[in-house]
Structure 1
Amino acid sequence: MQPSRPAKARVKARAIAQRRKIPTTLLAFPLFLIALFWMATALFAEEKIIKSHAYAILGEPKYAADFEHFDYVNPDAPKGGEMSTWTQGTFDSFNPYSLKGRAGALSSASIERLMMSPADESGVRYGLLAESLEYPESRDWVIFNMRPEARFSDGTPVTADDIVFSHELLMEQALPSYREAISKLVQKVEAIDTHRVKFTFMPDVPRDGLISQVSTNPAFSRKWFEENNMRLDESRLVQNLGSGPYVLDTFNVNRNIVYRRNPDYWGKDLPVNRGRHNFDKIRIEYFTDNNAALEAFKGGVYAFRLEQSALTWATQYDFPAVQNGRVIKEEIADGNLPISEGFVFNLNRENLKDPRVREAISLMYNFEWTNESLQFGLYSQRHSFWENTDFAATGIPEGAELAFLRSLGDLIDPAILTEPAVMAHTSGARQLDRRNLRRATQLLQDSGWEIGDDGKLRNGDGQAFNLEFLTDDPEIERLASGFVDNLNGLGMNARLTRVDPTQYTNRTRARPREYDMIFDQYGTSLVPGLGYQQQYGSEDAYVSNFNPAGFADPGADAIIEKLIASKTPEEFAVTTKALDRVMRAERFIIPTWYKSNHWVAYYDQYEYPENMPPYALGYLDFWWYNADKGQALTDAGAFQ
């Protein structure tokens, strides 16, 4: 007679116990042990560790672990020459992480991060300081395996301890909005060994976006900060020691800054860097305004311009160097999500809290007249925070978006469920559109503002409606002047105040904010990310520099939670459309214009890859210098 299966199991278990010295008393429960075994197996399976060279928020990375270079670069691009360009304003610091001072252009060029983003994918990170990362399926933590060869520019190694120090420094001295956001997400950062650093996340926060967030933490040198007694929250004309390809070379305050390529840069042969960082030097010239900068460009003071002014682009690029071919003027396709920029209300101002008032003010901006009269018809009207993409809200909500909006219940205005998404209004050919003027007047009356005997808007207490538009940009001053005139035609005491860059910085960063309206922008993305909470979340609304309106809305908060947690492009599209719809209904920014091309002009000594990526122009990154052409221009006296 053959023993039964349980009997066989007991015999086998006793044999194992004798070899491993397992107490035989436990063997009275063989089925219990089997159950424990399967439970342990299941737990182990749940904690499967994922290890990869890249991390994608949605979908899969484009490039495999053994890729040689990004598709859009020229891996054989020559090294050498100088890229020279310009910027407007002033600088008195090389520390971009502080609210104090005005940091010089490219002040963060020396700082690298654990991972980097390519220019042909959205929401994907590839290893830079870290050669790989590993994390459980739960994403409760992530370990970055750092490259042992990574070095700061002084030759000292970049270690896990430096990453821990960098996190601690940011949490102590970085911008308040950053500290408050990260403190709720990251529980602990620890160096496991010299080249492995572990981020453990808070137990009760969504995991989506956390790995991507910490992968872009800057890497500072503990040794340099401590030996030099430096702080991250101070203004100073000393650049933070970093590990990047460029270091500060020379500077003249408020005149120019020169960075030089570090010939001993540790990462020059990495696949993520092949074909990049091709210039020996990058020089930035400072000018007080666009006109002075353009004249300097014509005279050969610098060699590359990324033009932002439609007036300048349309009327002032017919000078001799363009005509004889020394300067190339061209438009290069821009596949980026259009910037959500426009006239931003300070929602903390009492007279701007009513959305009817904000709608009335917005009706006084005439895009059609501005574009044709001041911008030469070169722009398109922006409506959405996700303009020109499949993520923009359109028409009346339906399908999955409608179901999601309904699930929010009382957190949103019920009208959002039945009315089309708010679109930018249209206007006539004249600067002041009479139809919109009448509509705006009615909206103001409905919200308690009446035209007094003096022709000025006044509330029930007899107070006039004062509105200051603040700017430091002469181009915005030019484009907003007609808008301000129309506001005065509506009965407001509206004025446009142009201040110097330092005053502008101080007033826009002050809390409470010291402006009624400014021209500013909001960031959105083609993938989920924690940045939405800083841009649009209620908790940081008062302190965040990324939320110039101070926008705060419980419905938007609930949508952002779901948006960040999106697992598929379809889920992301539902949440972006819902958030877009809710924010547009609040009218905290008057949408203005956008364009789908980069406007560039440069002396014919620069070249770029034939296969340009959609998400970056890359003139400071993967363009290169043609030495023969540069010498010919120099011999011809093109440069000063």
Structure 2
Amino acid sequence: MNRGFITLGFAALLVASQTFARPSIAQYGEPKYPADFMHFDYADPDAPANGDMNFQNYDEQQSYDSMNPFLVRGAPAPDLKNLMFDTLMQRSWDELASEYPLITDDVEVAPDGKSATFHINPNACFSNGDPITAADVKYSYDTLASHQASPIYNSEFAGISRATAVDRLTVRFDFREARRDAPLIAGDLPVFSPKWGMRADGTRPPFDQISDVPPVASGPYLIEQRKNDKQITYRRNPDYWAAGLPSRRGMYRFQRITFRLFTDHYTSLEDFKAGHTDMRTEYSSSTWARKYVGKNFSNGSLRKGAFPDSPAQMQGIIFNTRKLVFADVRVRRALTLAFDYDWLNRLYFYGLYRRTGSYFQDSPFGARGEPDAQELKLLEPYRSTLPAAVFGPMIKQPDTVPPHSLRANLREAQALLNEAGWQYRDGALRNASGTPMTIEIMDDQPGMGGVILPYIQQLQTLGVQAHLRELDSALYEKRMDAFDFDMTTYIYPPVTIPGGELTRRFGSTAASQPGSENYAGVRSKAADAMIDAALNAQTLNDLETATRALDRILISGYYIVPEYYAPDTRVGYRARMGFPAVPPLSYLAEDWLIDYWFVKVAPAASTQ
């Protein structure tokens, strides 16, 4: 998390520093690294670049059935997008929002902020040897902005009106409006070849039909072997053109990366403890506290470490408000009161977690205390549509620490349910027509049963007919894309700086787009207004004001039962694995392990 950025007005910043081509850009202030930087501080450019790495269930996947990570249908091969597709520019992980050269070597933002022109590095090429051209970049944008790609990408690049190939190595993106993050979003564009999926006769099927064809890669790895839907091996491309770029030095140090996907946590843990997996991120506190033991830990061949990480994710059990049963906010608030976090943390989590109370936890973008004058100015036009709580102190999540208790929380929940028209009679909680409240909580992680089942027990105490449904990851993903669920555990990955993902997660338009990230079905004009204010913020202070106001709206809307977060990243790893001395400030654990860790060179004395 970064603090202390000096910001300028948007027009002043553009005129002062972005009316000429430059190698890097920052959303606020100036980029941390100078034009002649050699590598990111959190990268080790001298790390060994050989050795193979075995990984497990990336992103909790249990199987895969697609070679295309940009579609709604299908579950893409693990980490396919990261390993095989480069973006125009590379974001740094120790700044608020800055990008550095990758496929492009410089960028020029127009004085009015309504377009940005990128120049492609003449050495940039695909894995088949074809040079990357402006036409390829335009094709990638046009494809991801079309209905053939997942709405996630349509939404991500919605602020771009068009891409134009100015000449062979120059591409211009025109923006629908002048937003500070627009050039960086364009820089996030993954690039792929029009030859991907091309038939022998030179024709190409529609993009959404290309699912089982290995990509023509722009990134550092190629697919070496696919055994089945539970294992895949990537091999580093020896001709990867960008390996020596400053934004790539110290990255991708493994010669081969193999993913093996397990259907249960017990088997995957035992596989790691036997030394067959090189590193593993552990999300279960009880497993971390009790089961990372055994002879390989005792003899030093396996280790465990906790690494600092911020900001925190928002994890919780989402209500699908498209379901009539959850249309009333009083019902959602009541069901939130039934979740006993303090009991779980004490008896099940070994005190290793903290309670989540914000969508921007441990971040300057989260709300706290009373709304200030700037927040109130944004919120006031929507006062009549918002709960009074939005205009008071930030809502504190219910707890069961004395003098509070679960019994008192359940009594409050019962009163709210009665007020919303739900009464307990004939052995169940029923509405006026006599229909019982029935809820299916869907999940694809067997380990979550220990969290969900106690919650279900408390819901049943209220008369709710609740049950857990465990699915494999492929079916789970299909149902999530179609919003076919009542409640489910979900994690909103943290971002260093809020931006376009706000529209995808909480925008009203995304609520009706299958495949979007607005799983809760948030439809709020006030939330939309705060999102617009965030996206059009001219200063860092403006952005913080907008996100804090949005945080208040979302928390008071009870779209999720907030659960908990770990203040650090827990990693078990083989002793042969190394990592840079300086960790990034903000990162996704698996990405850090795969992108920046390496296999250490064995000491000469131990070589046989």
What TM-score, normalized by structure 1, do the two folds share? Answer: 0.87
Partner of 1:14: none
Match of 1:239 among 207, 211, 214: 214
Pairing 1:97–2:70 present: yes
Q: Is the 8 A contact 1:101 1:235 kept in 2?
A: no
Aligned residue number for residue 278 of structure 1: 253
In 1: Cα distance, 2:479 partner to 2:605 partner: 46
Please show how residues 102-113 of structure 1 align to structure 2 within 5 Å.
Answer: 102-108=75-81, 109-113=83-87
Question: How do residues 332-351 of structure 1 correspond to structure 2 at under 5 angstroms?
Answer: 332-334=307-309, 336-351=310-325
2:91 maps to a residue whose letter is: S
Amino acid at match of 1:256: Q
Q: Determine the structure 1 residue equivalent to 2:10.
A: none
AA at the equivalent of 1:303: D
On the 8 A contact 2:72/2:151 being kept in 1, the answer is no
Q: What is residue 8 of structure 2 aligned with on the other side? A: none
Which whole-Å CA distance do the structure 2 matches of 1:57 and 1:93 have between them? 35
Q: Output the amino acid matched with 1:92.
A: D
Aligned match of 2:329:
355
Q: Is the 8 A contact 1:92 1:235 kept in 2?
A: no
Q: How does 1:3-82 map to 2 (within 5 A)?
A: 49-82=19-52
Aligned 8 A contact 1:259 1:282 in 2:
yes
Separation (CA, whole Å) in 2 of partners of 1:231 and 1:400: 48
Contact 1:59 1:568 in 2 (8 A): no
Q: Give the conservation status (yes or no) of the 8 Å contact 2:89–2:101.
A: yes
Q: Is the 8 Å Cα contact of residues 146 and 154 (structure 2) preserved in structure 1?
A: no
> Aligned partner of 2:529: which letter?
A
Aligned to 1:289: 264
Structure-2 residue corresponding to 1:572? 543
Structure 1 residue 284: deviation in Å? 1.1
In structure 2, give the amino acid aligned to 1:129. Answer: I
Aligned to 1:318: 293
Change (3 A) 1:425 1:116: same
Secondary structure of 1:506 counterpart: helix
DSSP-derived class of the 1:250 partner: strand
Q: 1:468 to 1:540 in 2, by over 3 A?
A: same
Q: Distance in 2 between matches of 1:367 and 1:327?
A: 32
Tell me the distance in 2 between the aligned counterparts of 1:272 and 1:479.
Answer: 41
Contact conserved, 2:147 with 2:154, CA < 8 A, in 1? no
Distance in 2, matches of 1:630 and 1:235, equals: 48
Moved more, 431-440 or 111-120: 431-440
Secondary structure in 1 matching 2:105: strand
Aligned: 1:302 with 2:277: yes
Q: Deviations over 1:581-600 (max 9, x none)?
A: 11100000111010111111
C-alpha distance 599-133 of structure 1, shift in aligned 2 (>3 A): same
CA contact (8 A) 2:125 2:218 kept: yes
Distance 2:375 2:520 in 1: 26
Q: Does 1:384 align with 2:354?
A: no
The alignment's C-alpha RMSD in Å is: 2.4
How far did 1:183 drift? 7.6
Q: Is the 8 A contact 2:87 2:187 kept in 1?
A: yes
Q: Does the residue aligned with 2:85 lie in a helix, a strand or coil? A: coil
Distance 1:98 1:626 in 2: 37
Q: Secondary structure at the match of 2:287?
A: helix
SS in 2 for 1:619: helix
Give the AA of the match of 1:359.
Answer: R
- Contact 1:279/1:624 (8 A) holds in 2: yes
Superposed displacement of residue 274, structure 1: 1.1
Q: State the match for 2:505 in structure 1.
A: 535
- Which letter maps to 1:562? A
Evaluate the alpha carbon distance shift between residue 503 and residue 121 of structure 1 in structure 2; reply closer, same or farther with a 3 A threshold.
same
Tell me the residue number matched to 1:20: none
AA aligned to 2:438 is: N
How far does residue 338 in structure 1 lie from its aligned partner after superposition? 0.9
Residue in structure 1 matching 2:475, options 503, 506, 513: 503
Are 1:587 and 2:561 counterparts?
no
Residue 142 of structure 1 corresponds to 116
Q: Which residue of 2 aligns with 1:612?
A: 583
Residues 426-441 of structure 1: pairs in structure 2 closer than 5 A: 426-428=399-401, 433-441=406-414
- Tell me, in whole angstroms, the C-alpha distance in 2 between the residues paired with 1:483 and 1:429: 20
Deviations 1:131-172 (A, max 9, x none): 000121211111100001001011111110101111222233
Instruction: Judge conservation of contact 1:95–1:234 (CA < 8 Å) in 2.
Output: no
TM superposition shift of 1:240:
1.4
Is the Cα contact below 8 Å between 1:50 and 1:137 reproduced in 2?
no
Confirm or deny that 1:213 pairs with 2:185.
Answer: yes
Partner of residue 464, structure 1: 436
User: Could you tell me whether the CA contact under 8 Å between 2:195 and 2:216 is conserved in 1?
Assistant: no
- Taking the aligned partners of 2:411 and 2:535, their CA distance within structure 1 comes to 41
Q: 1:92 to 1:388 in 2, by over 3 A?
A: same
CA contact (8 A) 1:541 1:550 kept: yes
Look up the equivalent residue of 1:96 and give its one-letter code: P
Does structure 2 retain, via aligned residues, the 8 Å contact 1:257–1:284? yes
Distance 1:457 1:301 in 2: 50
Name the counterpart of 1:158.
Answer: 132
- Aligned partner of 2:11 in structure 1 is none
* Aligned equivalents of 2:527, 2:15: Cα separation in 1: 36
- Using the TM superposition, give the Cα deviation of residue 629 of structure 1 relative to its aligned residue in structure 2, in angstroms: 5.8
Q: 1:597 to 1:179 in 2, by over 3 A?
A: closer
Tell me the residue number matched to 2:459: 487
- Identify the residue that residue 222 of structure 1 maps to in structure 2: 194
How far off is 1:489 after superposition? 0.8
3-state SS, counterpart of residue 628 of structure 1: coil
Match of 1:554 among 516, 522, 525: 525
Relative to structure 2, which stretch is displaced further, 354-363 or 207-216?
207-216
8 Å Cα contact 1:47-1:136 kept in structure 2: no
> Is residue 444 of structure 1 aligned with residue 417 of structure 2?
yes
Secondary structure in 1 aligned to 2:549? helix
Instruction: Give the greater-gyration-radius structure (CA).
Output: 1
TM-superposed CA distance for 1:573, in Å, is 1.5
> 1:145 is paired with a residue of what secondary structure?
strand
**SS of residue paired to 1:393:** coil
Do 1:522 and 1:546's aligned partners in 2 also have CA atoms closer than 8 Å? no
What CA distance in whole angstroms lies between the structure 1 residues aligned with 2:431 and 2:385?
A: 30
8 A contact 2:157–2:185 mirrored in 1: no
Q: Is the 8 A contact 1:189 1:200 kept in 2?
A: yes
Residue-by-residue CA offset, 1:517-567 (whole Å, 9 max, x unaligned): 000123553424222111111111121531111111100111111111122
- Displacement of 1:112 in angstroms is 0.8
Question: Aligned partners of 1:507, 1:214: CA distance in 2, in Å?
Answer: 30
Letter in 1 for 2:417: L
Cα distance per residue 1:601-637 (max 9 Å; x no partner): 111111112122212352211222113169959x7xx
- Offset of 1:404 from its aligned partner? 3.0
Deviates more, 1:137-146 or 1:218-227: 218-227
Q: Could you list the runs of 5+ residues in structure 1 that have no partner in the other structure?
A: 1-43, 636-640
Name the counterpart of 2:107. Answer: 133
Q: TM-score, normalised by structure 2?
A: 0.91
- 2:393 is aligned with 1:424: no
Code of the aligned partner of 2:507:
G
Task: Specify the code of the residue in structure 1 equivalent to 2:555.
Answer: R
Q: 1:72 to 1:517 in 2, by over 3 A?
A: same
Aligned-pair distance for 1:415? 4.5
- How far apart are the structure 2 equivalents of 1:569 and 1:316? 44
Following superposition, the deviation at residue 577 of structure 1 comes to 1.0
1:488 is paired with a residue whose SS is helix
- SS of match in other structure, 2:106: strand
2:163 alignment counterpart: 189
